[in-house]
Amino acid sequence: MTQRFNINKPRVFAAAVFLSLCSLAQAEVAVIVNPKSSLGTLTPDQAASLFLGKSVTLPSGSAVALTDLPDSSAVREQFYSKAAGKTSAQVKAAWSRLTFSGKATPPKELASAADVKKYVAANVDAIGYIEKAAVDGSVKVVLTVE
């Protein structure tokens, strides 16, 4: 007589989703610039200032072209949470105020990390953020956020 083991598929699926979320929660986010950029490093405060529209230039004084991931991106949520201490809703509200008042233009939202990396690699004044595991020689890391 052969016994069959009944694997509870919903539990297996839930465990897989949980493990995926745990690994994503622990992923490092890299703030990236073009390799030709003169920027050496950024502090989390400097990154927050740029990505929240409080500063429109790099510490060197040069103009900056910010890129952002979509609202639905877990990497975006992690970046703003860790670097700026803000939720997506708070970031969106801050940019709405700045845009309405004419004080700043929000970052260019790109569809994926690959698009952000491609844009930054092609534009010397660009800055963005992606998962650190996606970094290659086409961009330079100036800050890592855990």
Half-sphere exposure of 92 (CA within 13 A, CB side): 10
Say what the pLDDT of residue 79 is.
94
Domain that holds residue 81: 28-145
Say what the pLDDT of residue 26 is.
59
Q: Considering the domain boundaries, does residue 18 fall inside one?
A: no
Say what the pLDDT of residue 60 is.
77
Instruction: Residue 120: give its domain's CATH number.
Output: 3.40.190.10
Q: Considering the domain boundaries, does residue 4 fall inside one?
A: no
Give me the number of domains the chain comprises: 1
CA-based torsion, 17, 21, 23, 29: positive or negative: positive
Residues of the chain with pLDDT under 70: 1-26
Structure tokens at 55: 């500063």
Say what the pLDDT of residue 51 is.
94
Say what the pLDDT of residue 82 is.
92
